[in-house]
């Protein structure tokens, strides 16, 4: 949200389809058509709509490999990633394997600051010290060529489960399960890492069932639906596209949570975030639970987050959630300082100049675990691809890249690696986010190469920031019933965005909160009704204060609950004074 001088253009969404959606509230039908929904089947979020596990390439081979290792009761080590997707993937794999009868299974998450990302040779050495006979990577591994080779040299089997885009070379693992690997025809390429391992566990359960494993072992066949809370959290927190399959998974997980069927760690994180379970939606996971979980991997060790997800008692879960909450507060403070420093760098650009087509920023004092958030904030502010760098080890810098719609950041890095093979030590990621490592002394050369490559790709990219709106709401629609209707019509998220609207309002009253937020009382044009609104992080230098009489908003609908009272509230994304 901004009340700054350079407002984002408001772009009214148009229907991607003219399909009739009978039986729906007209507003919902309009919203869904704006998101390309052209049939009632696409709104059916029943679990029965999910493709079967055997549709995922190598899921059956993975199940067979796991079945053999369970039969031998091999020592299994799960190697995860240090973000929320990696944490939920690790917790899911560990819990499901134990329920399925694995007696010797443990996990290891590389500490970001000691080992870096993925299955590396040092991590394989640690796995060997633990006596691992099978390594399962979750949410990583597709780029771990050297690490998988090291495991093979030591006689350790490897199962790679990942969702990141592969490079030209694949690791020589025993089995790779990744919907983005060549030859995989799974109906979606958008599964998060936790979605991939969930599918592998479904395939393993079917494999064990066919072997009569559960009867022979005298154990109950587990209900893997119990892990859908983890799938929902990891999927939303990793900001993967919420296509139909991911919406089915997220909706099922949210439904379990609302009925109190979430694991203790998630419930504790919701409590510490002040989010009631009964009306939970995807944005609560993305903006409240995910950041607290991610804070462990950013500032400390993601094992803290995984242990919270694995906690069986409310007391233990509350203790760990409190520690994660404090880490998140620390992260915010560090991030705020880094943002001030980054904005000071940007302030050296002439006021009249357009931002460069792409930006790289580096400071020797920046925190390696927070540069991804910094890059994201600057990308949102400037509507340009941004890479923020921090110092790594032995003369290297590590970068976190964030991109804008239409510009595939991993493809950009791939092209740079092809044109300048001496620059990048390693890289990997998605269309919208990536990580990379290079020599500190090569930063200037990389900055030039990055801008040149983005410029080559940017011809078909809209560099003008805009806010998409689902249009205006009538007075009959500006009420709590509509807010509730829209809130639970998701799940909303990446590529299936939460509805937002635009309109003009009279300002009846306003006050500044914490020197940066605006609390407003507004009146829609032609109405006598008063509506509360809140605008966060307003640029008060461009807010006219008492002279503000009429504003144009882009906003979302929300129901505010305070001391037992429920009222309609507008969550303001952009505010522009049109009469002051």
d(CA 235, CA 495): 13
Interval 115-119 mean pLDDT: 80
Percentage of the chain with pLDDT > 70? 97
Interval 280-304 mean pLDDT: 94
For 191-235, the DSSP string reads --HHHHHHHHHHHHHHHHHHTTHHHHHT-PPP-GGGGHHHHHHHH
Joined together, the tokens standing for residue 189 give 């390429």
Strand, coil or helix: what is 437?
Answer: strand
C-alpha of 8 from chain center: 24
- Amino acid 509: pLDDT: 92
Interval 34-44 mean pLDDT: 93
- Amino acid 580: pLDDT: 57
Q: E strand or H helix at 427, and its extent?
A: strand 424-429
- Amino acid 431: pLDDT: 84
Q: E strand or H helix at 448, and its extent?
A: helix 443-457
- Name the residue among 124, 167, 118, 105 with its Cα closest to residue 144: 118
- Amino acid 113: pLDDT: 67
Give this prediction's pTM.
Answer: 0.92
Q: Among 108-112, 270-274, 349-353, 416-420, which is the least confidently predicted range? A: 349-353
d(CA 322, CA 335): 20
| Count of beta carbons in the 10 Å neighbourhood of residue 250 | 29
Tokens 């001391």 identify what position? 563
* 418 contact partners, CB below 8 Å, separation of at least 6: none
* Residue 62: pLDDT over 60: yes
- Amino acid 351: pLDDT: 59
Interval 452-462 mean pLDDT: 86
- Amino acid 82: pLDDT: 87
Interval 485-509 mean pLDDT: 95
Q: E strand or H helix at 390, and its extent?
A: strand 386-391
CATH 3.10.310.30 range(s) for the chain read 350-460
- Amino acid 528: pLDDT: 83
- Name the residue among 413, 286, 318, 299 with its Cα closest to residue 367: 299
Which neighbouring-strand residues pair with 76? 105, 134
- Name the residue among 206, 209, 210 with its Cα closest to residue 219: 209
Residue pair 43/578 in contact (Cβ under 8 Å)? The answer is no
* Residue 214: pLDDT over 90: yes
Q: Among 216-225, 383-392, 423-432, 502-511, which is the least confidently predicted range? A: 423-432
**54-323: CATH architecture:** Alpha-Beta Complex (3.90)
Strand, coil or helix: what is 525?
Answer: coil
Joined together, the tokens standing for residue 89 give 């993937």
- Amino acid 2: pLDDT: 40
- Amino acid 352: pLDDT: 53
Interval 150-155 mean pLDDT: 98
- Amino acid 4: pLDDT: 39
The chain-wide mean pLDDT, for the chain, equals 92
Q: What is the topology classification, in CATH, of domain 350-460? A: Diaminopimelate Epimerase; Chain A, domain 1 (3.10.310)
How do residues 349-364 score in pLDDT, each as one tens digit?
Answer: 765 567 889 999 999 9
Q: Which of 4-13, 103-112, 198-207 has the highest mean pLDDT?
A: 198-207
CATH 3.90.1640.30 range(s) for the chain read 54-323
Residue pair 489/21 in contact (Cβ under 8 Å)? The answer is no
How do residues 521-569 score in pLDDT, each as one tens digit?
Answer: 999 987 888 999 999 988 777 787 777 889 999 999 998 887 778 889 9
d(CA 181, CA 159): 14
Interval 73-100 mean pLDDT: 97
CATH 2.40.50.460 range(s) for the chain read 9-35+467-579
- Amino acid 529: pLDDT: 87
* Pairing of the two strands 359-362 and 386-391: parallel
CATH 2.40.50.460 for the 9-35+467-579 domain, yes or no: yes
How do residues 399-412 score in pLDDT, each as one tens digit?
Answer: 999 999 889 999 99
- Where does residue 405 rank: exposed (0-12), middle (13-18), buried (19+ CB within 10 A)? exposed
- Name the residue among 427, 347, 340 with its Cα closest to residue 387: 427
d(CA 378, CA 291): 18
* Pairing of the two strands 396-402 and 531-535: unpaired
How do residues 155-191 score in pLDDT, each as one tens digit?
Answer: 999 999 999 989 889 999 999 999 999 999 999 999 9
- Amino acid 350: pLDDT: 67
CA angle 16, 195, 190 (to 5 degrees): 30
- Amino acid 346: pLDDT: 82
Q: Which residue has the higher pLDDT, 22 or 124?
A: 124
Number of H helices, E strands in the chain: 18, 17
Joined together, the tokens standing for residue 246 give 């991911």
CA angle 336, 339, 344 (to 5 degrees): 130
- Amino acid 5: pLDDT: 39
d(CA 112, CA 83): 10
C-alpha of 23 from chain center: 33
Residue pair 549/525 in contact (Cβ under 8 Å)? The answer is no
Read off the pLDDT band of 1 (50, 70, 90): very low
Residue pair 556/500 in contact (Cβ under 8 Å)? The answer is yes
Joined together, the tokens standing for residue 170 give 């694949």
Q: How many residues does the chain have?
A: 580
Joined together, the tokens standing for residue 165 give 């885009």
């Amino acid at each position: 949200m901004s009340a700054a001088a350079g407002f984002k253009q408001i772009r009214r969404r148009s229907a991607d389809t003219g399909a009739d959606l009978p039986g729906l509230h007209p507003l919902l039908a309009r919203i869904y058509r704006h998101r390309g929904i052209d049939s009632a089947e696409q709104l059916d979020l029943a679990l029965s709509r999910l493709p079967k596990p055997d549709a995922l390439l190598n899921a059956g081979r993975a199940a067979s490999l796991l079945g053999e290792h369970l039969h031998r009761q091999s020592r299994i080590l799960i190697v995860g990633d240090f973000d929320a997707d990696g944490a939920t993937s690790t917790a899911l794999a560990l819990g499901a394997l134990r329920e399925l009868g694995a007696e010797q299974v443990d996990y290891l998450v590389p500490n970001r600051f000691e080992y870096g990302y993925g299955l590396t040779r040092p991590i394989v050495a640690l796995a060997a010290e633990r006596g691992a006979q099978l390594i399962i990577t979750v949410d990583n591994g597709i780029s771990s060529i050297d690490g998988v080779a090291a495991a093979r040299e030591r006689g350790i089997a490897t199962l790679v489960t990942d969702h990141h885009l592969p490079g030209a070379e694949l690791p020589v693992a025993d089995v790779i399960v990744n919907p983005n690997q060549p030859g995989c025809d799974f109906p979606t390429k958008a599964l998060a890492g936790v979605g991939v391992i969930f599918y592998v566990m479904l395939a393993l359960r079917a494999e064990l069932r066919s072997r009569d494993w559960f009867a022979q072992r005298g154990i109950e066949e587990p209900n893997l639906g119990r892990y859908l809370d983890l799938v929902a959290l990891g999927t939303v927190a990793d900001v993967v596209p919420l296509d139909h399959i991911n919406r089915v998974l997220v909706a099922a997980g949210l439904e379990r949570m609302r009925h109190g069927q979430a694991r203790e760690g998630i419930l504790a994180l919701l409590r510490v975030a002040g989010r009631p379970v009964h009306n939970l939606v995807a944005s609560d996971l993305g903006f409240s639970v995910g950041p607290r979980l991610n804070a462990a991997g950013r500032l400390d060790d993601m094992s803290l987050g995984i242990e919270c997800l694995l906690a069986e008692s409310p007391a233990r879960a509350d203790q760990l959630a409190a520690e994660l909450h404090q880490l998140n507060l620390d992260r915010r403070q560090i991030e705020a300082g880094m943002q001030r420093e980054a904005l000071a760098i940007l302030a050296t650009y002439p006021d009249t100049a357009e931002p460069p087509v792409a930006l790289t920023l580096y400071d020797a004092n920046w925190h390696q675990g927070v540069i991804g958030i910094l890059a994201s904030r600057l990308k949102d502010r400037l509507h340009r691809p941004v890479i923020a760098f921090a110092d790594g080890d032995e003369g290297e810098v590590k970068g976190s890249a964030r991109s804008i719609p239409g510009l595939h950041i991993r493809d950009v890095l791939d092209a740079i690696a092809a044109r300048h093979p001496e620059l990048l030590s390693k890289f990997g990621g998605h269309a919208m986010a990536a990580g990379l490592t290079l020599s500190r002394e090569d930063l200037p050369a990389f900055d030039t190469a990055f801008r040149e490559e983005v410029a080559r790709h940017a011809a078909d990219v809209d560099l003008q920031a805009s806010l998409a709106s689902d249009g205006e709401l009538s007075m009959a629609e500006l009420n709590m019933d509509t807010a509730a209707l829209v809130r639970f019509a998701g799940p909303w998220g990446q590529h299936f965005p939460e509805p937002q609207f635009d309109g003009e309002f009279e300002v009846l009253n306003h006050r500044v909160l914490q020197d940066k937020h605006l609390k407003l009382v507004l009146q829609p044009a032609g109405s006598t009704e008063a509506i509360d609104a809140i605008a966060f992080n307003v640029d008060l230098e461009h807010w006219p204060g008492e002279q503000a009489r009429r504003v144009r908003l882009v906003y979302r609908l929300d129901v505010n609950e305070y001391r037992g009272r429920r009222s309609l509230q507008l969550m303001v994304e952009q505010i522009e004074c049109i009469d002051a």
